[in-house]
């Protein structure tokens, strides 16, 4: 049902000439975060709240665990909400993305990510016969998605919820209606919103259930919530978690299709569709081989697919990942029951 999306490679949205500096600043951010490590706290599984989990590896001095019940991967111990707030407010890495990487790649991101994203949301609203009077986007960032939504004209009112002052100003510069505070503090009336979108937010949150319960309260009965986040059972995460850039200190939670259903169910929602429409999985892992981060001896079969037979089977292998919910980019669509 969804419109076709043009092929994309990793370098288009993460220009290689900028990544050395980005990594340097990321390591500075990690050093800052780890200076508070003695204040980190243990948490249960962020999806099912289970206490039975096992440590699977360490990366950047953070401990990654897998829940025995729902297989969610998550960081614990983790920074407190206050430490996280200070971290994002002072992040040199985030500032570099905002001032260099996003502006450099904005044109291709709009064409290949945000415009297709807006069209996919439009089609989902049509598919599930959702009322489209009022939409909010949690964490609207630069406002690119909201701008594309308004161009399509399928909602009467779009509201960007963006806590960052600088990003809120960017949204306003695009002519968007903006609420410059976290969704929990936005004072929306109960059952006043038709559609809520949250793109790449829940993986960053100390306790995602809190924000989802707020979403449930303000959605109208029958209203849709559309959430995207990394798939903890996705290709690059499972293949090489210690190399994958998806696995970093900012991403505390790595839900999978099953555990997202548990998480949203705990907030009261009924999950009606899960998809993993990623475009970059094969390109990302292929680049691990090309850059020397992965060796042929590490996984000869994947080397054969992604290097030796790339031109013949690369595209079909990516389609296989998408069709079997094995891409690392996951969408979950849920509804507030009538």
pLDDT above 90 as % of the chain = 77
Q: How far apart are CA 328 and CA 320, in angstroms?
A: 13
Stretch 179-187: mean pLDDT: 92
More confident call, 24 vs 200: 200
User: Mind listing the pLDDT tens digit for each residue in 131-151?
Assistant: 889 999 999 988 999 999 999
More confident call, 167 vs 216: 216
Give the per-residue pLDDT at 104: 73
Check pLDDT > 90 for residue 65: yes
Check pLDDT > 70 for residue 120: yes
Q: What is the mean pLDDT of the chain?
A: 92
Stretch 160-182: mean pLDDT: 90
pLDDT above 70 as % of the chain = 95
Q: How far apart are CA 247 and CA 74, in angstroms?
A: 10
More confident call, 163 vs 292: 292
Give the per-residue pLDDT at 1: 44
Packing angle of the helix pair 16-34, 81-89 (nearest 10 deg): 140
User: Mind listing the pLDDT tens digit for each residue in 290-335?
Assistant: 999 999 999 999 999 999 999 999 999 999 999 999 999 999 999 9
Q: Identify the band that residue 163 occupies on the pLDDT scale cut at 50, 70 and 90.
A: confident
User: Mind listing the pLDDT tens digit for each residue in 11-32?
Assistant: 565 666 777 788 888 899 999 9
Instruction: Give the predicted TM-score (pTM) of the model.
Output: 0.91
Stretch 113-126: mean pLDDT: 95
In terms of Cβ atoms closer than 10 Å to its own Cβ (0-12, 13-18, 19+), residue 316 is exposed
Task: Give the number of C-alpha atoms closer than 13 A to the C-alpha of residue 102, restricted to the C-beta side.
Answer: 14
Give the per-residue pLDDT at 166: 78
Stretch 80-85: mean pLDDT: 94
- Token readout for 24 is 């340097």
User: Mind listing the pLDDT tens digit for each residue in 220-270?
Assistant: 999 999 999 999 999 999 999 999 999 999 999 999 999 999 999 999 999
Q: Identify the band that residue 93 occupies on the pLDDT scale cut at 50, 70 and 90.
A: confident
Look at the alpha carbons of 52, 57, 62, 64 in this order and tell me if their dihedral is positive or negative. negative
Check pLDDT > 80 for residue 100: no
- Token readout for 7 is 């092929």
Give the per-residue pLDDT at 5: 45
Give the per-residue pLDDT at 253: 98
More confident call, 75 vs 109: 75
Check pLDDT > 90 for residue 338: no
Give the per-residue pLDDT at 137: 98
Q: H-helix or E-strand containing 67?
A: strand 62-67
Stretch 96-113: mean pLDDT: 77
What is the secondary structure of 26-43 as a DSSP string? HHHHHHHHHTTGGG-B--
Give the per-residue pLDDT at 15: 64
């Amino acid at each position: 049902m969804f419109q076709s999306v043009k092929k994309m490679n990793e370098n288009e949205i993460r220009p290689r000439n900028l990544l050395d500096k980005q990594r340097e600043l990321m390591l500075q951010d990690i050093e800052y975060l780890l200076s508070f490590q003695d204040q980190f706290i243990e948490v249960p599984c962020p999806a099912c709240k289970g206490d039975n989990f096992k440590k699977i590896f360490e990366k950047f001095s953070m401990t990654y665990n897998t829940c025995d019940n729902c297989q969610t991967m998550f960081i614990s111990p983790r920074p407190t909400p206050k430490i996280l707030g200070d971290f994002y407010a002072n992040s040199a890495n985030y500032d570099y993305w905002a001032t260099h990487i996003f502006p450099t790649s904005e044109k291709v991101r709009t064409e290949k990510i945000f415009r297709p994203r807006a069209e996919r949301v439009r089609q989902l609203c049509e598919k599930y016969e959702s009322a489209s009077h009022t939409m909010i986007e949690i964490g609207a960032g630069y406002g690119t998605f909201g701008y594309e939504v308004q161009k399509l004209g399928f909602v009467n009112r779009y509201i960007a919820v963006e806590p960052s002052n600088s990003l809120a100003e960017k949204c306003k510069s695009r002519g968007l209606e903006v609420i410059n505070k976290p969704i929990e503090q936005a004072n929306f009336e109960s059952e006043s919103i038709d559609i809520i979108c949250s793109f790449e937010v829940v993986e960053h949150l100390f306790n995602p259930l809190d924000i989802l319960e707020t979403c449930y309260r303000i959605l109208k009965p029958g209203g849709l919530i559309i959430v995207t986040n990394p798939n903890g059972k996705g290709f690059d995460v499972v293949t090489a978690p210690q190399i994958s850039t998806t696995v970093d200190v900012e991403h505390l939670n790595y839900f999978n299709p099953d555990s997202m259903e548990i998480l949203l169910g705990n907030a009261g929602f009924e999950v009606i569709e899960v998809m993993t429409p990623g475009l970059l999985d094969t390109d990302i892992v292929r680049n691990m081989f090309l850059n020397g981060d992965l060796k042929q001896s590490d996984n000869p079969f994947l080397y054969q697919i992604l290097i030796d037979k790339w031109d013949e089977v690369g595209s079909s292998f990516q389609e296989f990942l998408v069709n079997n919910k094995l891409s690392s980019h996951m969408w979950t669509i849920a509804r507030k029951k009538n």
